[in-house]
């Protein structure tokens, strides 16, 4: 156990539950893309763990690429105005693309990203996310592969950060109030 226990309020999703869910999603993705080339695109940095474990759960021989995006605008975390910090190395025109995220919160980041990637002429584009917060959605996104719908609480671990910390927890947990300074 890492020495982060006192910062956590609870474990929301265990490593075992994550592993089981990714195996389920991987089986669906294997079936859906059978006989087709597939490029999976991870959204840095949060999606690193999901990408690594999902990719290894797939039987399908995928290619992997990464994007890094950042919301900007004063104050709000996700303004919906996004800039690309690192673009794909791959030309996705005519390709089947699966965007992999750790979490869809407001949906604004992914909404912008899907419009951006869609304009590059992929053959298809779909989304896989480990977590989704239905109560926080500000924009509707068609997500083909969802791991868990979760309550509108601040969650960390398994790639998800609070001020860049807790990403390396092997599970998804909720933060104790004192961590927020409250
Ligand atoms: C987080 C998360 C998603 C996005 C979801 O990324 O990893 O990418 O926010 O929020 P939204 O649905 O409200 O747009 P963040 O911008 O914190 O960057 P990170 O992945 O580097 O932590
Ligand atoms: Mn992210
Ligand atoms: Mg973050």
Q: Is the pTM of this model over 0.80?
A: yes
Of 171, 129, 103, 123, the C-alpha closest to 29 is 129
- pLDDT of 70 > 80? The answer is yes
Ligand 1 center–CA 69 separation, angstroms: 9
Per DSSP, the residues of 92-139 read -TT-EEEEEEEEESSSHHHHHHHHHHHTT--SEEEEEEEEE-GGG-SS
- pLDDT of 178 > 90? The answer is no
Residue-level pLDDT at 78: 62
Which ligand gives the minimal distance to the CA of 76? 1
Quick one: pLDDT band at residue 85, thresholds 50, 70, 90? very high
Residue-level pLDDT at 81: 78
- pLDDT of 101 > 60? The answer is yes
Average pLDDT over residues 129-138: 97
Quick one: pLDDT band at residue 96, thresholds 50, 70, 90? very high
Average pLDDT over residues 101-113: 95
How many whole angstroms separate alpha carbon 5 and alpha carbon 173? 10
Ligand 3 center–CA 101 separation, angstroms: 11
96 lines ligand 1 (CB under 6 A): no
Q: What are the residue ranges of helices labelled H in the chain?
A: 15-32, 48-57, 108-118
CATH topology classification for 15-150: Rossmann fold (3.40.50)
Does 105 qualify as catalytic in the annotation? yes
Quick one: pLDDT band at residue 177, thresholds 50, 70, 90? confident
């Amino acid at each position: 156990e890492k020495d982060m226990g006192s910062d956590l309020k609870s474990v929301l999703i265990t490593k075992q539950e994550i592993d089981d869910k990714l195996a389920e999603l991987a089986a669906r993705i294997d079936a859906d893309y059978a006989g087709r080339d597939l490029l999976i695109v991870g959204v840095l940095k949060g999606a690193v763990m999901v990408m690594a474990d999902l990719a290894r759960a797939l039987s399908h021989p995928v290619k992997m690429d990464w994007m890094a995006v950042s919301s900007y605008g004063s104050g709000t975390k996700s303004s919906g105005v996004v800039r690309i910090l690192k673009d794909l190395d791959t030309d996705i025109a005519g390709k089947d693309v699966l965007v992999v995220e750790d979490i869809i919160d407001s949906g604004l980041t992914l909404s912008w990203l899907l419009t951006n990637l869609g304009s590059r002429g992929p053959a298809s584009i779909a989304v896989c996310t480990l977590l989704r917060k239905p109560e926080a959605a500000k924009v509707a996104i068609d997500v083909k592969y969802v791991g868990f719908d979760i309550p509108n609480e601040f969650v960390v671990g398994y790639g998800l950060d609070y001020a860049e910390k807790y990403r390396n927890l092997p599970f998804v947990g909720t933060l104790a109030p004192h961590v927020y300074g409250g």
